[in-house]
Structure 1
Amino acid sequence: MTSEPPAATRRRREQLGVFLRTRRARLTPGDVGMAVAGRRRTPGLRREEVAVLAGVGVSWYTWLEQGRDINASAEVLDAIAGALRMDGPERAHLYLLAGLNPPRARVTRDAAVTPELRHLLDAWAPRPAVLRDRHWNLLAVNDAARTVFGYGDTDHNCLITFFTSARYRDAHAHWEAAAPLVVAAFRADAAHTPGDPEFDRLVGDLSAVSAEFAGLWARHDVGHPAQAVKAVRHPEAGDLFFDMTPLAVTDHPGWHLELYNPRPGTGTADRLERLPRTRLTAPA
């Protein structure tokens, strides 16, 4: 983490001590598989019990709770988090209070799209909305996205559709200008998990069928997905212009919700309202 003023450091260490004491107080020896010996005057685990469970010295752990000027490694913090039965957000909070960057949360690969997220996608209609994962696989789209962008049942990955679907390319008013930005954003996402075999597979498979993608990937340009304008040529509604905003789904690391809002002054909102909301099926 970056350097901080001495007063902020003291405050952070004080908060660390309070946090550890509250996590310790909510547990009993029975919760962690320890036998209870004699009467206990205070609820929760004792400091020495936490130290034993975490495999650290009692004095060192006491100093940590007291906010002393000591350093804790990631391995020790993980051991303390395990001893105190911390969940993911608590573990990340422990790291921050100890002055370390939290590790990246584990990715839930096969998690189902929740009813709340599906309701949000549907409620965004008649504006398009798309939910994708870290590999740009399409997890869910609303009917407006199917109608406006032409996403169908055979479309499973945003990147693959972008480079291999003639229908999608014809509908994208500025495909050539957008393509380098799309590849740069995908490379930036892939860099967060180096060695991920799924990223390697996608790049290899797409390079084999799209020379344009292979050429852009070889440039090693990197960019981050951000708020952008998307222009679509629709066969019935004409030219449609959207402001696209990607939002991270915090309880599913790697998931992003892309919301498309009609760009003011383009007439898109009026044309979108008149467009029939029919479910399109992409050609095989």
Structure 2
Amino acid sequence: MREADAFKSHRLRELREFLMSRRARVSPAEAGLPAGGARRRTPGLRREEVAVLAGVGVSWYQWLEQGRDISVSPQVLDAVGRVLRLSDAERRHLYLLAGLNPPTPEVPPGKRDMCDGLRRLIDTWMPYPAHIMDIYYNCVMYNDAAAMVLGMRSDITQNCLIDFFTDPLYRSRSKSWERNARTVVAQFRAACAARPDDEGFQAVLSQVSEASEEFTALWRERDIEDHGQIRKELEHPLVGLLCVESTAMRVPARPDLMVVLHTPLDEANTAAKMEWLASPEGRRGAMYPVAG
């Protein structure tokens, strides 16, 4: 058996086992069905009950659960997912097992209040800069080092893309600005492409395009790049050159947020300089914010 055929066979087998296990967990009462007096041979819902509640043919659903190679649509999978009371993670897993591209992750209701934990995360990263931004690049929170080293402060837009192109303090301190600008724009285009009808992205795009001709020129290049690591070189007025590596990471439980951690590189004595900036003496010397 070819590798592709073996993978497909494995995927369909996993689909069968997954659907059977989810169906067994949903009681007739949870699905809005009368319990009835007859003893049920299987736990949870029957196949025909899932089919009727999802509005699909009984034979079609049976073929789906048997792992047959049949055509499926997102609409039908969503209907089945609602009947089986799938979580967002389980729904995306169902898409993958059925051979479809999964939908955009949603924030589970129980995970929407994670601010305290995320604040502890970036504060623990001290004395190195860290911040958290949403899908539109709005800065949600940042630690003290991000303020001292990257110049994050309250009197700018608090949108990382817009400030990259419009904050003169950022521009004057960043030695790697021109090299990184193309990457920043390419990453934002990739984020926009994943949500083409999202008005939030369009609002940010409109604002930064109006404010920066340099952004507009780079946007026309249509480069696409995933988030990853970016090398930054900063000229801090108190300690001189700083070399860091910026790493952007998604929060699986909060797909609407991204944690950006800055790690000192083994150059220019960066780690020691950042430790000094976070010390009482360094804080006293930091009379104004610095870009990054």
* Structural RMSD (CA): 2.3
Aligned partner of 2:20 in structure 1 is 21
Aligned partner of 2:75 in structure 1 is 75
Mark the CA change 1:229 to 1:45 in structure 2 (over 3 Å): closer, same or farther. same
The secondary structure found in structure 2 opposite 1:71 is coil
Question: Is the CA contact (8 Å cut-off) linking 1:147 and 1:280 kept in structure 2?
Answer: no
Question: Is the CA contact (8 Å cut-off) linking 1:127 and 1:262 kept in structure 2?
Answer: yes
Residue identity matched to 2:154: D
- Matches of 2:176 and 2:15, distance apart in 1: 51
1:202 to 196, 201, 204: 204
Aligned partner of 1:6 in structure 2 is 5
Mark the CA change 1:223 to 1:92 in structure 2 (over 3 Å): closer, same or farther. closer
TM-score where L is the length of structure 2 = 0.87
The secondary structure found in structure 1 opposite 2:196 is coil
Aligned partner of 1:146 in structure 2 is 147
Which residues of 2 match residues 95-114 of structure 1 at below 5 A?
95-106=95-106, 114=115
Residue 239 of structure 1, CA deviation: 0.7
Residue 112 of structure 1, CA deviation: 5.2
- Matches of 1:251 and 1:99, distance apart in 2: 23
Question: Is the CA contact (8 Å cut-off) linking 2:186 and 2:224 kept in structure 1?
Answer: yes
Mark the CA change 1:206 to 1:11 in structure 2 (over 3 Å): closer, same or farther. closer
Aligned partner of 2:46 in structure 1 is 46
Aligned partner of 1:90 in structure 2 is 90
Question: Is the CA contact (8 Å cut-off) linking 2:243 and 2:267 kept in structure 1?
Answer: no
Residue 167 of structure 1, CA deviation: 1.1
Residue identity matched to 2:175: A
Mark the CA change 1:215 to 1:112 in structure 2 (over 3 Å): closer, same or farther. farther
Unaligned runs of 5+ in 2: none
Aligned partner of 1:276 in structure 2 is 278
- Matches of 2:138 and 2:174, distance apart in 1: 19
Question: Is the CA contact (8 Å cut-off) linking 2:251 and 2:259 kept in structure 1?
Answer: yes
Aligned partner of 1:174 in structure 2 is 176
Mark the CA change 1:105 to 1:126 in structure 2 (over 3 Å): closer, same or farther. same
Question: Is the CA contact (8 Å cut-off) linking 1:126 and 1:144 kept in structure 2?
Answer: yes
Mark the CA change 1:33 to 1:135 in structure 2 (over 3 Å): closer, same or farther. same
Question: Is the CA contact (8 Å cut-off) linking 2:149 and 2:289 kept in structure 1?
Answer: no
- Matches of 1:112 and 1:80, distance apart in 2: 29
CA-to-aligned-CA distance 1:116-165 (integer Å, 9 cap, x gap): 11111000000111111121110111111111111111231011211111
- Matches of 1:15 and 1:216, distance apart in 2: 44
The secondary structure found in structure 2 opposite 1:275 is helix
Mark the CA change 1:53 to 1:206 in structure 2 (over 3 Å): closer, same or farther. same
- Matches of 2:56 and 2:217, distance apart in 1: 53
The secondary structure found in structure 2 opposite 1:100 is coil
The secondary structure found in structure 2 opposite 1:44 is coil
Residue 203 of structure 1, CA deviation: 2.2
CA-to-aligned-CA distance 1:201-240 (integer Å, 9 cap, x gap): 2222222232322333333333333212111111111111
Question: Is the CA contact (8 Å cut-off) linking 1:77 and 1:94 kept in structure 2?
Answer: yes
State, as a whole percentage, how many aligned pairs show the same letter: 44
Mark the CA change 1:83 to 1:239 in structure 2 (over 3 Å): closer, same or farther. same
Which residues of 2 match residues 29-68 of structure 1 at below 5 A?
29-41=28-40, 42-68=42-68
The secondary structure found in structure 2 opposite 1:82 is helix
Question: Is the CA contact (8 Å cut-off) linking 1:152 and 1:280 kept in structure 2?
Answer: no
Residue 113 of structure 1, CA deviation: 5.0
TM-score where L is the length of structure 1 = 0.89
Mark the CA change 1:45 to 1:281 in structure 2 (over 3 Å): closer, same or farther. farther
Residue 261 of structure 1, CA deviation: 0.6
Mark the CA change 1:208 to 1:56 in structure 2 (over 3 Å): closer, same or farther. closer
Aligned partner of 2:239 in structure 1 is 237
Aligned residues: 279
CA-to-aligned-CA distance 1:240-262 (integer Å, 9 cap, x gap): 10011111111222421111111
